[in-house]
Amino acid sequence: MKILLVDDDPRLRELVRIALERADWQVITAADGQEALLHAAREAPDLIVLDIGLPELDGFEVCRRIRQRSEVPILFLTARDDEVDCILGLELGADDYVTKPFSPRELVARIKAIAKRSRANGTVPVNHGALTLDPQAHRCWLNGQEIALTAREQSILQLLTKAPGRLCSKPELIHHIWGAGSQVSDRTLDSHLRNLRGKFSEAGNPELIETVHGAGIRLRDSGQTGA
C-alpha cells in the first residue's frame, strides 16, 4: 500500500514515516498543502495521512480539493482535541482522525482498520430498488447516476444493504464500522449519514436512508425513488 504522509513538522513526519515503512508500506511525504495536492495527483496513493494544521493551505482545504476528484481514504492528524473540528473533517470526506499526541502503533492500527474496511467484503454487486452497490469496484449508482462514496460511507451503506428494511441501532452501526470498544460518538456517525443523505438527495432520493428516532437506521423497503 502506498501512503501519502502530510505534516509540516519534520520530526513528526520522520517518526511516522519510519513507523509506516516498518509496517511494509511505501511512504511519500509532503510538508505543506500544495505539495500534498501535487503528490496526490501524481502518485495516486492508496491512503492519505493528512495533518489539519498545515500553513497557508490547511488540511481541511486539501481534503476538500482531493475529494473533488478522488475518494482515496483520508485519515486526519489533529493537534486540537475539538470534536467540532473532527466532525468538520468527517463532513468534508475524511474517513477517520487521530488526535496528537499519538503513538505510532495507534496510527498504524487505525490505518490497517481503514484499509480493511475499504477492501471489498464481497464480490457480488448489491441491488436495492434503484440503488446498486459494487463493493469490489467501490462504486455506487442511484437512479442511474454514479455516487462517489468515501470508504466509511461505503461501509455504512454495505451494512445497511445486507438487510434492507431492518433497523440497525447506532451502537450496532458503530460496532460494525469502527470496531468493538470504539469511542466514536453518535455525532460522528450522524455526520457520515448526513453526507450520504446529501449525495442521495442530489440523485433524486433523499429518503433512501430512514431514521426511526429512538430505534435506529434502515434502508427503505420500497424500490421507488424520488418520492
DSSP state at residue 36: H
Give the end of a domain, one of 118, 152, 167: 118
Which is more confident, 220 or 12?
A: 12
The strand order across the sheet containing 145-147 reads 126-128, 131-134, 139-142, 145-147
Q: Strands 131-134 and 216-219: what pairing? A: unpaired
- Based on the fold, state whether residues 30 and 78 are members of the same structural domain: yes
Residues 163-211 pLDDT 10s: 777 888 888 888 888 876 777 888 888 999 999 999 999 998 888 999 8
Give the dihedral of Cα atoms 128, 130, 134, 139; nearest 10 deg: -140
- Based on the fold, state whether residues 164 and 71 are members of the same structural domain: no
Here the CATH number for the domain that contains residue 97 is 3.40.50.2300
User: What are the residues whose beta carbons fall under 8 Å from the beta carbon of 209, sequence distance 6 or more?
Assistant: 160, 193, 196, 197, 200, 217, 218, 219, 220
Question: Is 87 among the domain residues?
Answer: yes
Q: Do 193 and 140 touch, CB atoms closer than 8 A? A: no
- Based on the fold, state whether residues 204 and 138 are members of the same structural domain: yes
Task: Select from 124, 185, 191, 201 the least CA-distant residue to 156.
Answer: 191
- Residue-level pLDDT at 126: 77
* Distance in angstroms (rounded) separating the CA atoms of residues 96 and 102: 14
State yes or no: pLDDT of 114 exceeds 80.
yes
- Based on the fold, state whether residues 157 and 178 are members of the same structural domain: yes
State yes or no: pLDDT of 224 exceeds 50.
no
State yes or no: pLDDT of 106 exceeds 80.
yes
- Residue-level pLDDT at 124: 57
Indicate the range of 32-46, 88-102, 111-125, 163-177 predicted with least confidence: 111-125
Give the end of a domain, one of 66, 84, 118: 118
State yes or no: pLDDT of 127 exceeds 90.
no
**What domain range includes position 188?**
126-219
- Residue-level pLDDT at 27: 96
Residues 81-105 pLDDT 10s: 666 667 777 888 888 889 888 999 9
Task: Select from 193, 206, 182 the least CA-distant residue to 160.
Answer: 193
C-alpha cell, 177: 464500522
Q: What is the mean pLDDT of the chain?
A: 85
- Residue-level pLDDT at 62: 95
- Residue-level pLDDT at 109: 93
Whole-model pTM: value is 0.58
